[in-house]
């Protein structure tokens, strides 16, 4: 239990991802599927940001003195910048996918006048 409270961010990440996954797979409404996708991606972004964070860590920029004396670098003093950079890319990718998904949903709406998956399938069978 203490472990859960100490790592509450991971608990939230898991909850977010489960909501997103459920919405992507089980929802019938195409827009809700897109929303689920966005939630799932947000969960992953939070997860990556959480693993890069450290208590009382500095911004990972080396001063001139430290850079010239490598043994003086204490890795634990610095936050891991890599995860944030990765997530910057992942956010861009996620926005692009969401854009394409919504554009497709709009086209589908123009075609069938509904966002409901069942009604669309019924329409296709005719």
Partner 1 sequence: MTEQLPIIIILGPLMAAVLAAFAGWFRPKLSHPLVLLGLAASFAAALKLVFIVADGGTQKYWLGGWGDKVIPGQKDPFVVGIQITVDHLNTLLLAAVSGIALLTAIYAKRLVDTELAGRQRYFDALFALLVTGLLGISITGDIFNLYVFMEIAALSSYALIAYGKSRAYMASFNYLIMGTMGACLYLLGIGFIFIKGGTLNIDDLSGIIPTLQADGPSQALFVGFILIILGAWAKMAFFPFHGWLPNAYTYAPTASASVLAPLATKVAVYAMLRIMLTVYSIDYIVGLNGIQPIALYLSTAAIVMGSFLSLTQTNLKMIACYFVISEIGYMVGGAWLANKPGLTGAMYHLVADAAMTSALFMAIGCIVYRLGQAQLESLRGVFFKMPVTMTAFVVTMAALIGVPPTCGFFSKWYLIQGAAQAGVWHFVVALLLSSLVKAIILFRIVEIGYNRVPHPAIQGNPAIERKEAPLSMLIPTLVMALGLIVLGLYTDTLVGTNTIIGKAVSAALTP
Binding interface with partner 1 (CB under 8 A): 17, 21, 24-25, 30, 33, 37, 40-41, 44, 47-48, 51, 70-71, 82-83, 86, 89-90, 93, 96-97, 100-101, 104-105, 107-108, 111, 120, 124
Can you tell me the distance from the alpha carbon of 86 to that of 83, in angstroms, rounded to the nearest whole number?
5
Question: Closer CB to partner 1, residue 26 or residue 58?
Answer: 26
Q: How many CB atoms lie within 10 A of CB 117?
A: 14
Question: Closer CB to partner 1, residue 58 or residue 107?
Answer: 107
Least distance between partner 1 and beta carbon 100 (Å): 5
Q: Do 21 and 40 meet the contact criterion of CB atoms below 8 Å apart?
A: yes
Classify the C-alpha dihedral 56-61-62-63 as positive or negative: negative
């Amino acid at each position: 239990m203490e472990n859960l409270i100490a790592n509450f961010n991971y608990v939230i990440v898991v909850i977010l991802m489960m909501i997103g996954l459920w919405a992507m797979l089980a929802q019938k409404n195409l827009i809700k599927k897109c929303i689920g996708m966005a939630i799932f991606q947000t969960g992953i972004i939070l997860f990556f940001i959480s693993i890069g964070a450290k208590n009382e860590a500095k911004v990972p920029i080396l001063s001139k003195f430290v850079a010239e004396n490598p043994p003086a670098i204490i890795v634990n003093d610095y936050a891991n910048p890599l995860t944030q950079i990765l997530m910057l890319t992942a956010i861009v990718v996620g926005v692009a996918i969401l854009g394409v998904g919504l554009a497709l949903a709009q086209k589908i709406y123009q075609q069938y006048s509904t966002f409901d998956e069942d009604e669309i399938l019924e329409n296709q069978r005719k």
